[in-house]
A and B are shown apart, each in its own frame.
Chain A
Amino acid sequence: AQTVTQSQPEMSVQEAETVTLSCTYDTSESNYYLFWYKQPPSRQMILVIRQEAYKQQNATENRFSVNFQKAAKSFSLKISDSQLGDTAMYFCAFMKHSTASKLTFGTGTRLQVTL
């Protein structure tokens, strides 16, 4: 079975600064996907960024980038130039590249962006 661990329950960052959220996972699979989802107070889960395990290059989406360390089973999210709208819960998630598209989530990190 897969497990996803987010060891930072809460983090705070000032507007325009950079913050990094940590995630580690455990799996015996060799082919899988990793995701970061954002859940604002509106509750709707929004995909932030996705990484395919077979790709060595770290994924980037505008101000969001990841540091994927496959051997260490680590998948951190870096948010640059933080904005007030980035305030949300952030969940790291894992999915096997096989049958049902089941996501395994971590417990989340609450990010507060302040002025």
Chain B
Amino acid sequence: ETGVTQSPTHLIKTRGQQVTLRCSSQSGHNTVSWYQQALGQGPQFIFQYYREEENGRGNFPPRFSGLQFPNYSSELNVNALELDDSALYLCASSSGLAGVSYEQYFGPGTRLTVT
């Protein structure tokens, strides 16, 4: 058990709505990365937060945004949901200087369905 938790486990939203996904990082970790895993695909990097600042972003539009809190937990927000946003959203926590670490621990994911 890695200690990384995500909520909710599943949720269903309608196109155009907004959604917030949550991640609690493993104790002692200061960095959270978010990934989107479409069905049958490998995860794709969305962005990373290190000590409450965005520290790298993948090829995702601005309607994907995030936050990291002083306790290093994190939120992923997606506005104006589209059908293609349906996916498993994974967060991974790690510790390291300036967010650099090769030891990432993943949570169980949130399955988002957009109808």
Interface of A with B (CB < 8 Å)?
A: 4, 33, 35, 37, 42-47, 50, 91, 93, 95, 97-108
Interface of B with A (CB < 8 Å)?
A: 2, 31, 33, 35, 40-45, 48, 50, 55-56, 58, 88, 90, 92, 94, 96, 98-109, 111
Which residue in A44, A91, A101, A106 is a CB contact (below 8 Å) of B102? A101
Contacts A43-B88, A91-B42, A107-B42 hold; do A102 and B106 have CB atoms under 8 A apart? no
Contacts of A108 in B (CB 8 A): 41-42
Q: Is the CB of B107 within 8 A of A44?
A: yes
Chain B minimum-CB-distance residue to A95:
B102
Q: Is the CB of B31 within 8 A of A44?
A: no
Q: Which of B56, B99, B100 has the most CB of A within 10 A?
A: B100
Q: Is the CB of B102 within 8 A of A105?
A: no
Which residue in B2, B41, B43 is a CB contact (below 8 Å) of A103? B43
Cα A103 to Cα B58 with chains together (Å)? 10
Contacts A101-B31, A101-B33 hold; do A44 and B42 have CB atoms under 8 A apart? no
Q: List 19 A-B contacts (CB under 8 A).
A: A4-B42, A37-B106, A43-B88, A45-B43, A45-B90, A47-B105, A99-B56, A99-B99, A99-B100, A100-B48, A101-B96, A101-B101, A101-B104, A102-B33, A103-B43, A104-B45, A105-B43, A107-B40, A108-B42
Contacts of A105 in B (CB 8 A): 42-44
